[in-house]
Each structure stands twice: as structure tokens, then as C-alpha cells.
């Protein structure tokens, strides 16, 4: 059988990784896919440079429009990133009845509903394993392996850059800026690293996971995002003393009131496997009603890890492109007409436990005032300690862990606490999850 013909849009880190894997593992991939998978065309801005890297049989162009319109291509692999011009090119490729493989989480988080609807209309596949958690086959696991389950929640470390930064800061005491530079040099960070630091990249991925887990349309606007930019070394230290690590988690949960979709720094008990995920590694914890809790771990970024997912998608498309579209695994795990809109919960409606750090005057009655206000707002204290003030110092830090509380109540209580004359700075609050 003739090889399936692939066109690559973009030839950066992941594009080169894809080229290299297809070249190196050609024979095994063919044995698995049932026919060869061949890159026949690459569209890249610097075509001359790409020509020096790839084999003579591959056409290199600087026109992505020409590639998506090309009659000699069966699958378009979109590795440009971002929404513009990726959205238009992907829709154009679909319009030309080409299957699409993409690792573009931003594109799917923002325009996924439109793209999947277009693909469904013409009966082509849009595969996107590489868009979430790089080399970890989490889409496959959720969409197929766990298909018997009612998914209850997902909690994941799904941004390698921020996990790398948090790990390095904790282990070496290095500054935020120097660790970020390292992450960029190693190729983990997004073109705009604020996407990593501010939780946007994690929210893109979480939004996709949420839809596949609960059978809801993709809704990036519903995501709450809080990044790691404001985390202080002191909080990382205090959390350790209490038996926790701070991780940037993406959490999506189905409650009786609706769906939570949130990314924020989170205290994770040290004895959970997730707390030991260090460096740029990713890990996703999924709670299903039948299977219980399962954990998926691996590299979430980098050339070949992400390309590993891209090539897996190419094999999947190669195996199933002749199947009746109605018999393929649906893009979002649920049949397109069976997606349902559930209520989306804002962060104020979230119930979780909290870590508070309060800078206070070290004098009688301070703690009593704070405890009274927390009690007034139904917030119960789970643990606390006070830093020993240094010689002659008349202020200190009080660290509190709470039982579960409604965020709206926490906001009201902290608003009152911050008006106390003995509370000397805004209260630091970090959410905490037991992940059981
Ligand atoms: N910037 C992303 C990360 C790359 O750090 O995880 C993979 O999406």
C-alpha cells in the first residue's frame, strides 16, 4: 500500500522532532500503522534553512496556504502554535477534506468547538494528543481507557516550565528570573513565557481535558487562572514545614452544583506522588468512579516527547481514516450531539482548604481576633504555627491551615482580617487539596 502523505505546518522544535522520529522509527511505525507515513511537504518561514536539514524527497515551501491546499497531502500536521494564522489554516485544511494533527492547545481551547464541528461536518479527524501534557498519552487514556467511568475530577501538573521553576527555586534557592531563563534555554517555555507563569498554558490544556472528562463543550472563558509569579520563597518553606509542596495545579471537578475549572498554586500533601513530580515533568491524576484514582506521568514538553504524541496521532489517523466517521472515537470522547452544557462554577463558588500567611504584630489578642473572624465566616482551623520572632522584633508570621471552606466566605473573612490594626500586610492565601 502507498504511504500516507503528511504535510508539516511549521518546522520548529516539535516539527523537527516529528521528522526525526518518523525517519528513525520508520520501519516499526509502518509495521504498526499498516503502511508507511511519509512527510512530503513542509511549510516554514525560513524555507532555505529547512532545506539543509530535510531529505531531498521533501518539498519545502514558505507558503502554508499552498500546503493546506495541496492535492498530494492526506494529513496536515499543524505545529505553528497560537491562534492566528493556525485557526484559518486548520479550517482551510479541513475544508479541503484533510485530516489534521495538532499540538496546539491554545487553538483548541479557544476555537476547538468550531474546529471539531467543521471536521465532523466533512468527516475528517482532528487529533491532538500532543496538545496536552506533551508525551503523556492522557487524551487516549481519558477518551478510551477510562471510557467506562464517570470522571469525578482531574488534577494535573500540566505546565513543565512552572513546575521546573518551582522545583529549582525550592531545591536551590535560585531566583525566579534565573530559573525562567534556564527553562527558556531548554525549550520548555512558551514563546511568551507569561503564558507559563500566569497559568494560561495550563488553563488551555485543562479546558481540553475538562471537556473530554465531562462531555461539556470547550469553554476557556470559564477557567480561573492564577500563576506562580507572586509566590514567595517563605511560603514554599512554610508549606514544607507543614508537610506540603506547592505545585501549579490545573483542577477540574464535577460537583452537584456544576463544573470547576481552575489553575492556581496549590499545597499538595508531600506523601502524594504528585508532590514528587519535579523539573519539567508533567503528571495528571484522574479520579473515575469505577477505577478510582489513576496517575499519568511523563515529559510534558520538548522536541521528541511532544513529537511522540504527534506521531502516535499520525498512526491513529492512518489506521482509521478509511473507517466510517460515525464509528471513530469522537473528538471530545462523547458523541458530538451528546455534549451537554453544565453550569460553570466561578472561583468564589469553590470549596477547598486553605493556607494563610499573616504578618501580624506580636502582641496579646491578635490570634484571638483572627480566630473569631474566621469562625464568624464558618471557617474552621486545621493547623497553625507562629514563626519565632527574631531578637527585638515585634512582628511575626502566623501560618494557618483551614478545613474546607467556601471561597466566598474566605474572601469575606480575609477582607475583615486585613482591616485589623494588628494585621500588617495583605494576607497570603494559597489553596490546598488533599487529592484523595
Ligand atoms: N510551555 C509548555 C510547558 C510546553 O512548559 O509545559 C508544552 O505545552
Question: Which of 43-57, 64-78, 143-157 comes out lowest in average pLDDT?
Answer: 43-57
State the pLDDT at residue 91. 98
Q: Is the CB of 189 under 6 A from ligand 1?
A: yes
Query: How far is residue 97's CA from residue 9's CA, in Å, rounded to a whole number?
Result: 16
State the pLDDT at residue 189. 80
State the pLDDT at residue 68. 98
State the pLDDT at residue 180. 86
157: which strand partners? 283
Query: How far is residue 277's CA from residue 299's CA, in Å, rounded to a whole number?
Result: 10
State the pLDDT at residue 188. 78
State the pLDDT at residue 191. 78
State the pLDDT at residue 119. 98
pTM, whole model, 2 decimals? 0.96
435, pLDDT greater than 80: yes
49, pLDDT greater than 90: yes
Taking residues 97-111, report their average pLDDT: 98
Query: How far is residue 63's CA from residue 53's CA, in Å, rounded to a whole number?
Result: 18
State the pLDDT at residue 282. 98
| Residues 267-319: tens digit of each pLDDT | 999 999 999 999 999 999 999 999 999 999 999 988 999 999 999 999 999 99
Nearest CA residue ID for atom 4, ligand 1 = 301
**Those residues with Cβ within 8 angstroms of residue 271's Cβ, 6 or more apart along the chain or in another chain:** 243
| Residues 385-409: tens digit of each pLDDT | 998 778 888 999 999 999 999 999 9
Taking residues 241-261, report their average pLDDT: 97
| Residues 106-132: tens digit of each pLDDT | 999 999 999 999 999 999 999 999 999
Q: Which atom of ligand 1 is nearest to the CA of 159?
A: 6
Q: Which atom of ligand 1 is nearest to the CA of 301?
A: 7
Q: Is the CB of 188 under 6 A from ligand 1?
A: yes
Closest CA to 432 of 365, 354, 322, 350: 354
- For 150, phi then psi, to 5°, come to -90, 115
Q: Which domains does the chain have, with CATH numbers?
A: 4-135+303-338 (3.40.50.720), 138-299 (3.30.360.10), 350-432 (3.30.70.260)
| Residues 222-235: tens digit of each pLDDT | 999 999 988 888 89
Q: Is the CB of 250 under 6 A from ligand 1?
A: no
Give the distance (Å) from ligand 1 centre to CA of residue 161.
6
Q: Give exposure, 29-54, as e/b (b: 16+ Cβ within 10 Å).
A: bbeebeebbbbbbbbbeeeeebeeeb
Confidence grade of residue 175 (pLDDT, cut at 50, 70, 90) = confident
Q: Is the CB of 238 under 6 A from ligand 1?
A: no
Instruction: State the chain's mean pLDDT as an integer.
Output: 96
Q: Is the CB of 109 under 6 A from ligand 1?
A: no
Top mutation candidate among 133, 299, 300, 307 for ligand 1, by most atoms within 8 Å of CB? 300
96 phi-psi bin (left φ>0, alpha ψ -120 to 50, beta other): alpha
State the pLDDT at residue 407. 98
Active-site option among 41, 205, 247, 253: 205
Top mutation candidate among 189, 195, 279 for ligand 1, by most atoms within 8 Å of CB? 189
| Residues 176-202: tens digit of each pLDDT | 888 888 888 887 788 788 999 999 999
Give the distance (Å) from ligand 1 centre to CA of residue 3.
32
Let me know if 205 is a catalytic residue.
Answer: yes
> How far, in Å, are 178, 221, 279, 280, 295 from residue 298 at the CA level?
24, 28, 11, 9, 10
Percentage of the chain lying above the pLDDT 70 cut: 100
Q: Is the CB of 198 under 6 A from ligand 1?
A: no
- Outline where DSSP puts E strands in 321-417: 351-361, 381-386, 395-402, 405-406
Q: Which atom of ligand 1 is nearest to the CA of 162?
A: 5
Look at 170 and 422; give whichever has higher pLDDT.
422
164, pLDDT greater than 90: yes
Give the distance (Å) from ligand 1 centre to CA of residue 196.
7
State the pLDDT at residue 185. 85
395: which strand partners? 361
| Residues 312-368: tens digit of each pLDDT | 999 999 999 999 999 999 999 999 999 999 999 999 999 999 999 999 999 999 999
State the pLDDT at residue 290. 98
Top mutation candidate among 129, 133, 159, 250 for ligand 1, by most atoms within 8 Å of CB? 159
Amino acid at each position: 500500500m502507498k504511504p500516507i502523505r503528511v504535510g508539516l505546518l511549521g518546522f520548529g522544535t516539535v516539527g523537527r522532532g516529528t521528522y526525526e522520529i518518523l525517519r528513525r522509527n520508520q520501519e516499526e511505525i509502518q509495521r504498526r500503522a499498516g503502511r508507511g507515513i511519509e512527510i512530503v511537504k513542509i511549510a516554514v518561514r525560513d524555507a532555505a534553512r529547512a532545506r539543509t536539514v530535510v531529505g531531498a524527497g521533501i518539498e519545502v515551501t514558505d507558503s502554508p496556504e499552498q500546503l493546506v491546499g495541496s492535492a498530494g497531502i492526506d494529513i496536515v500536521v499543524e505545529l505553528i502554535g497560537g491562534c492566528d494564522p493556525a485557526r484559518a489554516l486548520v479550517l482551510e485544511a479541513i475544508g479541503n477534506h484533510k485530516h489534521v494533527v495538532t499540538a496546539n492547545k491554545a487553538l483548541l481551547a479557544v476555537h476547538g468547538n468550531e474546529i471539531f464541528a467543521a471536521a465532523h461536518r466533512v468527516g475528517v479527524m482532528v487529533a491532538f494528543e500532543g496538545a496536552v501534557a506533551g508525551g503523556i498519552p492522557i487524551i487516549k487514556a481519558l477518551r478510551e481507557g477510562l471510557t467506562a467511568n464517570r470522571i469525578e475530577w482531574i488534577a494535573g501538573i500540566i505546565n513543565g516550565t512552572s513546575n521546573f521553576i518551582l522545583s529549582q527555586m525550592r531545591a536551590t534557592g535560585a531566583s525566579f528570573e534565573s530559573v525562567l531563563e534556564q527553562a527558556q534555554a531548554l525549550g520548555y517555555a512558551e514563546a511568551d513565557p507569561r503564558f507559563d507563569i500566569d497559568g494560561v498554558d495550563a488553563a488551555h490544556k485543562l479546558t481540553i481535558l475538562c471537556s473530554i472528562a465531562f462531555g461539556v463543550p470547550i469553554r476557556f472563558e470559564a477557567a480561573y487562572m492564577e500563576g506562580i509569579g507572586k509566590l514567595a520563597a517563605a511560603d514554599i518553606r512554610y508549606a514544607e514545614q507543614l508537610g506540603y509542596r506547592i505545585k501549579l495545579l490545573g483542577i477540574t471537578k464535577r460537583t452537584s452544583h456544576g463544573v470547576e475549572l481552575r489553575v492556581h498554586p496549590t499545597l499538595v500533601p508531600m506523601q502524594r506522588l504528585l508532590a514528587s513530580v519535579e523539573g519539567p515533568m508533567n503528571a495528571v491524576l484522574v479520579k473515575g468512579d469505577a477505577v478510582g484514582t489513576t496517575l499519568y506521568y511523563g515529559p510534558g514538553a520538548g522536541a521528541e516527547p511532544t513529537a511522540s504524541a504527534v506521531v502516535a496521532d499520525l498512526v491513529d489517523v492512518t489506521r482509521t481514516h478509511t473507517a466510517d466517521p460515525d464509528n471513530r472515537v469522537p473528538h471530545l470522547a462523547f458523541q458530538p450531539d451528546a455534549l451537554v452544557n453544565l453550569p460553570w462554577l466561578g472561583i468564589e463558588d469553590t470549596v477547598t482548604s486553605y493556607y494563610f500567611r499573616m504578618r501580624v504584630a506580636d502582641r496579646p489578642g491578635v490570634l484571638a481576633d483572627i480566630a473569631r473572624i474566621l469562625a464568624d465566616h464558618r471557617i474552621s482551623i486545621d493547623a497553625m504555627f507562629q514563626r519565632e520572632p527574631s531578637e527585638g522584633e515585634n512582628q511575626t508570621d502566623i501560618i494557618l491551615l483551614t478545613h474546607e471552606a467556601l471561597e466566598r466566605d474566605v474572601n469575606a473573612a480575609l477582607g475583615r482580617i486585613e482591616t485589623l490594626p494588628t494585621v500588617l500586610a495583605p494576607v497570603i492565601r494559597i489553596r490546598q487539596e488533599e487529592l484523595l
